[in-house]
Amino acid sequence: MKFWETKKLNEMTTEEWESLCDNCGKCCLVKLEDDETDEIYFTSVVCDLIDLDTCRCTNYAQRCKLVPECIDLKQHDDFKDYTWLPSTCAYRLLADGEPLSSWHPLVTGDATSTKEAGVSVSSYAVKEKDIGDDDLQDYVLDWIGKIL
């Protein structure tokens, strides 16, 4: 049995917890919130600190200092506050009692398998620095077709 099949999220070592991230980059997409409905919309605009080839943060240790909007996911089992996490996110899947996806690097043994499966934002995201401040709404995603 693999550790993610036997341990709860809050029982994992830091190394195990960190290895669960599949580097899809979806949580690094800029989100818009509707003031009236509180509904959250993902855009295809992504944080400037991401490396769009690997979808890894280029300054993970300092991320919350450098990007105040960056959310440090806490290691616990109850992800009810993280409703905005995409359905493919490994933390969400395990918190909901679901198995990891077949393309997850821990399952395939290949660090590039998320990108190769077309699940990462690599193929469509644009960086914040490359768009105008007033143009964000033009990048709201239609998740159907974008999310697996």
Residues of the shown chain interacting with ligand SF4 in the complex, contacts defined by CB under 6 A: 21-28, 47, 49-50, 57, 63, 67, 70, 85-86, 89-91
Show contacts of 6-12: CB within 8 Å, 24+ apart. 8/77, 9/75, 9/76, 9/77, 9/91, 9/94, 9/95, 10/75, 10/76, 10/77, 12/75
Least Å from the CB of residue 133 to ligand SF4: 18
Task: Provide, rounded to whole angstroms, the least separation between the CB of residue 136 and ligand SF4.
Answer: 15
Rounded Cα–Cα distance for residues 118 and 141 (Å): 16
CB of 48 to ligand SF4, least distance (A): 7
In the bound state with ligand SF4, the residue whose beta carbon lies nearer, of 140 and 147, is 147
Residue among 7 and 54 whose Cβ is closer to ligand SF4: 54
SS3 17: helix
Nearer to ligand SF4 by C-beta: 84 or 140?
84
What minimum distance in Å lies between the beta carbon of 57 and ligand SF4? 3
Report DSSP state, residue 98. P
